[in-house]
Amino acid sequence: MRDVKINFDENTYRILYHRYKELIWPLLIIFVCFGLFLKVIIPQFQEFLSMREEEKVLNKKIITLRSNLDYLSKMDDSNLDSQVKIVSSVLPFEKDFVGVLSAISFAAGKSGIKVGDFSLQIGSLSLSNQIALKPSLDVSLTVSGGVEGVKRFLKELANVSPVSDASTVQLAGNMSTLSLSFYYKPLPSFVFDYYTPIKSLSKAQKSTLEKISKWQNF
């Protein structure tokens, strides 16, 4: 099979030009429009969609800010201060030595027993450890009053702040040795986000708050 060579001379170009000259401008216009569509229209449309999305996010933030402002404006400051005082007394933000001694003294007086020797275990002072674990101030003390006296003492202690529990009880006649843990919870560092909705207390949280507000050593 022989190679076929096609040669275009000047006359051929002229013939093609005169035959298809009516299509040249429309084709050029189509190519220009297509280029504008790719370079201008599509980017602008994408920018428009992005702006619409940003507008939705901004409107949502504005709604949240208005809701938070309305919630805060209706809040009773005195009631809030009272709630914070109750919570921080029951679960202090740091080791509350005075609160622990006050709770022991109050429970002993209500139960009619006498407190003898006692010792405090300071524990870790690292803030990161205190936040990650369940930090407590551990107390070992001896009380007089026998089994019934210890029961009364622990019952009274369960209804005073700060919150505590007894890990061990050793009875020896009329004297008993108790190991108690008084809990606290340091506040973790945080950055307040104005656009996070402020939530009111749930029913369960309100019920718990009402219960501990009736503890006798407030």
Total-model pTM = 0.64
Q: Tokens 């280029």 belong to which residue?
A: 35
Residues β-bridged to residue 179: 140, 168
pLDDT at 147 over 60: yes
**Cα dihedral 202→203→209→213 (10° resolution):** 150
Could you tell me what percent of the chain has a pLDDT over 70? Answer: 84
pLDDT at 203 over 80: yes
The whole-angstrom separation of Cα 49 and Cα 20 is 42
Could you tell me what percent of the chain has a pLDDT over 90? Answer: 11
pLDDT at 1 over 50: no
Give the mean model confidence (pLDDT) for residues 47-65. 87
Give the mean model confidence (pLDDT) for residues 6-11. 60
For residue 154, what pLDDT is reported? 92
Q: Which helix (H) or strand (E) element contains residue 101?
A: helix 97-111
